[in-house]
């Protein structure tokens, strides 16, 4: 089984796995995110087009919010 790592959690990889798919899989619904794939920043308008490879290390950094 091919996998990727998202915030140190190992999950199954799938064909055409883009950032939006990852966010949905992880149930990451917060909107203020900084995403890096293997250390490279992915901008919001690139979420759909950024396809991750097996073994990728994805960091989804949630910023802070609230009072």
User: Angle at the Cα of 1 (from 51 to 17), degrees rounded to 5?
Assistant: 15
Q: Which is nearer to other proteins, 15 or 64 (CB)?
A: 64
Residues that bind other proteins (CB under 8 A): 7-8, 27-32, 34, 41, 43-44, 59-67
Q: Which is nearer to other proteins, 10 or 16 (CB)?
A: 10
Report CA torsion sign: 18, 19, 24, 25.
positive
Min. distance of Cβ 15 from other proteins in angstroms? 26
Q: Which is nearer to other proteins, 16 or 27 (CB)?
A: 27
CA distances from 27 to 59, 60, 67 (A): 14, 12, 23
């Amino acid at each position: 089984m091919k996998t990727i790592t998202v915030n140190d959690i190992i999950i199954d990889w799938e064909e055409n796995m883009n950032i939006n798919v990852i966010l949905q899989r992880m149930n990451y619904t917060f909107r203020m995110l900084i995403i890096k794939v293997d250390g490279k920043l992915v901008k919001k308008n690139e979420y759909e087009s950024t396809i991750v490879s097996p073994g990728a290390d994805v960091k989804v950094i949630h910023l802070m919010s609230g009072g």
